[in-house]
DNA sequence: GTCTATAACCCGATAGAC
DNA sequence: GTCTATCGGGTTATAGAC
């Protein structure tokens, strides 16, 4: 069946791009892994870049079901959801002996050419991630100081995840990852404490 | 002169690996840019990876003179030195229209193979950076709470720089970079405030 | 140490029958 | 849509004269 062949190609491309990178994955690698033939692949994807674009669209479309839902299963506390997401990347690192973490981040630094369509999809993937985390911080409502920018805090969270994954991959251990996430925990805890104090002051004010 | 040829080759390799990446830079590119001939390059560096190792050794050896000294010129405040270093990466992004930032980070995510010697040098580069920042935080002495781990804070700082550069490159703008660095500023400011409060308490205690 | 020429290989992509 | 065979070009690296 045609759809099956296409799915197999895209699935193996997703896997191989994540494991070996885009440049280091040859079309021959994808053909061998998927069991498809050259003619079939080029029937669906005229160029290798078209296949990359499809892979990035899949990541984008799958962020809720493939990434967030499994990470957030059984959780309701919005702040815990943020750290559960970061724990999901930690699991990915553990499961691969710190060989890879975030496929989008790896591709983002590998693609050096302008490649506007590729870069736009990488950016959209980042934006989807940031928006999901931002929703958590918004749900945390009064637990955070009202004057801190939730969008900026979400960007900061992505920044830390990507930088921490990079170091884990380089050192092949989780020390820098854990230290970085612990620092973010500390920062969020300080924000919560600051919000609580100002609320206490406010309540004090109401009582006078 | 032999040494001159070698220096030209290494210099252009440093530049091209940073701009185009390791895999996307061919030996032919380096030969053309340096004006050297194939025979000369392979006389000094038997394989392309040997050239990469030399490039990484140069980055490591040059961190003080090439990176820190220019960024810290005229500065003495240790906390300001940390943010001046982060500003240096911002300048690099601005100067290249957000095309590249940290060569070590880019190479770290590009190299997917185990490549133990390469990865060891990447790790040493990160460690040198972290130790330099750690020295700043140590010099800040009593301005930070005594119970916070200066080494972990330095790793956190590198994490943020790398993650922020990645997003700047992807979005081709500085919004995520500036937002991330501003958040680190806020975090450090909160640490300084916490240290000051606890010192005040202590002084208060001395007065009773 | 430097030069030129080229080997040996792998890559993305295509042609054309079925 | 699927298959096989292959093209044209770029890659790292080498050979051997100077």
Q: Which two tokens stand for residue B204?
A: 């208060």
For the residues of B91-132, what is the DSSP string, one character each? Answer: HHHHHTTTS---HHHHHHHH--S--HHHHHHHHHHHHHHHHH
Query: What is the rounded CA–CA span in Å between residue A164 and residue A86?
Result: 10
Which residues make Cβ contacts (< 8 Å) with residue A20, sequence separation at least 6?
A: A29, B112
| CB of B177 closer than 8 Å to CB of B167 | yes
pLDDT digits (tens, 9 = 90+) for A156-208: 999 999 999 999 999 999 999 999 999 999 999 999 999 988 776 666 655 55
Q: Report the percentage of chain B scoring pLDDT > 70.
A: 95
Instruction: Give this prediction's pTM.
Output: 0.97
Q: Name the residue with tokens 């699935």.
A: A11
Q: Do A159 and B152 touch (CB under 8 A)?
A: no
Q: Given pLDDT bands bounded at 50, 70 and 90, which one contains residue B205? A: low
Whether the pLDDT of residue B143 is over 70: the answer is yes
| Nearest chain A Cα distance for residue B181, angstroms | 8
Query: Which nucleotide in the DNA or RNA is closest to residue B40, CA to C1'?
Result: C2
Query: Which nucleotide in the DNA or RNA is closest to residue A27, CA to C1'?
Result: C12
Query: What is the rounded CA–CA span in Å between residue A55 and residue A69?
Result: 20
Nearest CB neighbour to B176, from listed A24, A100, A159? A159
| Predicted local confidence at residue B141, as pLDDT | 85
- Cα-Cα end-to-end distance for chain B: 75
pLDDT digits (tens, 9 = 90+) for B105-128: 999 999 998 899 999 999 999 999
């Amino acid at each position: 069946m045609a759809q099956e062949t296409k799915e197999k190609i895209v699935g193996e491309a997703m896997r191989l791009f994540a494991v070996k990178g885009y440049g280091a994955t040859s079309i021959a690698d994808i053909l061998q892994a998927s069991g498809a033939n050259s003619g079939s692949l080029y029937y669906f994807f005229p160029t290798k870049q078209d296949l990359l674009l499809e892979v990035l669209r899949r990541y984008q479309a799958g962020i809720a079901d493939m990434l967030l839902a499994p990470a957030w299963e059984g959780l309701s506390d919005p702040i815990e959801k943020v750290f559960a997401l970061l724990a999901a990347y930690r699991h990915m690192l553990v499961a691969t002996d710190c060989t890879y973490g975030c496929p989008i981040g790896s591709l983002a630094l590998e693609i050096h050419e302008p490649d506007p369509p590729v870069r736009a999809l990488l950016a959209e993937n980042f934006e989807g991630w940031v928006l999901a985390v931002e929703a958590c911080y918004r749900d945390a409502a009064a637990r955070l100081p009202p004057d801190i920018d939730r969008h900026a805090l979400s960007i900061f969270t992505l920044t830390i995840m990507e930088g921490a994954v990079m170091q884990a991959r380089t050192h092949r251990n989780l020390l820098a990852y854990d230290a970085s996430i612990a620092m973010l925990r500390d920062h969020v805890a300080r924000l919560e404490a600051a919000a609580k104090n100002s609320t206490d002051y406010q309540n004090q004010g109401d009582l006078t």
